[in-house]
Structure 1
Amino acid sequence: MLESQRALFALPEGLSYLDCAYMSPIPKAAIEAGARGAAVKAAPWKMTIHSYYDEAEEARSLAAATIGAQPGDIAVIGATSYGMATAAKNVPVAPGSLIVMMENEHPSHRYVWYELAADGGAEVRIVPKPEDGDWTQAMVAAIAGAEAPVAVVAGTLLHWFEGAAVDIRALAAATRAAGAALVIDGTQWVGAVPFDVTEIRPDFLSFATYKFLLGPYRLAFLYAAPRWQAEGRPLEHHAWHRINGDAPDFYVETVPGFKPGARRFDMGQRSDFAVLPVAIESLKLVNRLGVPAIHERIAMLNDRVWERAIGGRLVDRIDPQRVPHIAILDMQDRLRDGAAAALRAAGVHVTMRGPKMRVSPHVYNELADIDRLFDVLSAYAR
């Protein structure tokens, strides 16, 4: 099994950071790359046309490798929401059709579909949280049993808030059977869960880098299926995603075509000289370690989370719908007040939402981090 990679990160001694699903740290190599990148703007006279292309293409290739895609399948964008807005501009939604999504879906994967439905005379069909927690069956049943044509399924591998798994293969199959477009938010799992777009075949998959890809904030990538690479409409227009956009006289051409593949969806000013180097170093690390090996280590750490939670009587059982890379523990009233403050004081970082605690380790964590978390909590158990 992959060993702890803590030495590659600037984590202080005694700190247990278990909140990757909120925001990951970046590796030391990425910190150094960011400093070099920021210095580029200090000497713009040294820049060439390659400054606008080389790093964007390297980042595109590295991001593609994390999901089994080819570089040309990937657009460089600013956020998950940008990718969702791009998808919403392209997928066909007829009047009277349905857009299906889970209850309490993430805002970046929610509001755009309400706007699209309102503009096109369609309806957003919310699938309520199932009593047994089986989101897969609930979503598949909603798609198969819909009384109107389903135009879009807003999908993902897990419910971002509940931490419950969704069988993306089953969801993709149901979506295709309905003749609908599958648009996926991968921000909460790309980099931590092995995934192959050639198997699932979504229309679009948008994912940010600042969580399990160990990258910077304000950068994301968008996978677009071959159909949309050929006929898709971008959100914005600029020289960098156009044929001959790198030519000295690019401004002379009035209607140049788009560059090949998903590059037509690249955001303007995609060549962020400070942000892209950070992402490149982070993605290099993810690809060097390998997503399957990362997944195995994170799953092992989360197994210890559930083991300690059950042993400390903070939960009754392991959630049968849980995902391997994030543990969300519903402790109900089993903790006394003050536990969250005590964790912060002890240098243990998780997300607390009422009675629920989300624990999300990564390769920089060790079993000692998990044990430190529950050693603190044990003093507050009822």
Structure 2
Amino acid sequence: MTAGTIVLLLSLLLGLQPITTDLYLPALPALTSSFGAPMAQAQLTLTALLLAFGVSQLVWGPLSDRFGRKPILLTGLGAYVLAGVGSTLAPSMMALIVWRAVQGAAMGAAVMCARAIVRDLYAPTQGARVMSKALSGLGVIALLSAPLGGLLTEVFNWRAAMLVLALFGALCLGLIASRFEETLQQQNPKAMQITTLLATWKLILRHPTFLAFSALSAASYGGLFTFLATSSFVFMNVLGLSKTGYGALMALNSLVYVAGTFLCRHWLPRFGVRRAVKWAGMLSLAGGTLMAVPSLMGVQNIWAILPAQLLFMMGHGVHQPCGQSGAVGPFPQAAGAASAMNGFLMMLVAFAMGSWLGTHMDGSVKPLTLGVWFWTAWIALSAWTLVQKYGEPTLCRNQTA
């Protein structure tokens, strides 16, 4: 595979995550009304997807170390397409929640394999640069997702947005089947044995570099998830923004994220991973603070939130490529298991936050603003302490799987 093909495929695989979440965010209020369901159940269509996404990676990761990346990608993408069709035809909110959980589990195979492929092919520092390129592609997909979702919901209904997800999954499936070449150099026949698996997870969870970068990526994703889970209700129901306006706002959010990935590639050769993350931590904390303080003073308008959110997204564009590649870096022979554990921890944070938000949406902007502020504090703490101390990538020589 050429370098361009690798980046394209990685962008599509990683892009499954934002398109699966962002495309239907403008449809959430309409979806809730369509089924006559409470807001908490609508939130479950997102939190169930993300919980299944996180847990499934713990299975997909060792499977990919055992059988290779391509068989797992084909299986996962096939299931994703099926779940997309099921979501489109769902007759009730409960059926939709079930199909979205299946879709999340299938999505786990694609995203986990993408992170593992980066470690299969590149050393940690180069991997961060390649990951930032792939996440630029992810940002473009995210940029288009919310406006497209808003347009589809406005012109047709929420089911049209779900159908587009099935079509996107089918595109990814076709490209992986025809263009992807296996990147795992040596399969591990013991990767799925329970004793081997437990020993591998123990080794990964005790490695300080993995913990440092996982803390960073999980906190950064926690902030993003808080915004995604609350933004459609806050901006449309509380602040009165139209579906089209909300889609444009989300597109701007994604555009700044893409700019952040470019900033990451600019900083990495000049400052290295640790200093890049350190500077990005300042952007994140500044954004969270500038967002929270006006809301605590009773200010509720778009311009009190949006500029601060864009600062957060700029930092997010640095933290995610550095955090995801840095967490997997010490484990070249267990990249699937390490990628899976990193993804699981991110989704565990998202599920916990989603569960809290489901009972604390109070008709104000505070669940969004204070939630993001909370996570930016953890981002800064991780970036300025753990990553500075343990962020130098070193190989783990005693890998079990």
| Interval containing the TM-score (normalised by the shorter chain) | under 0.3
Between structures 1 and 2, the one with greater strand share = 1
Which structure's residues are more often helix, by fraction? 2
The TM-score, its normalising length taken from structure 2, stands at 0.24
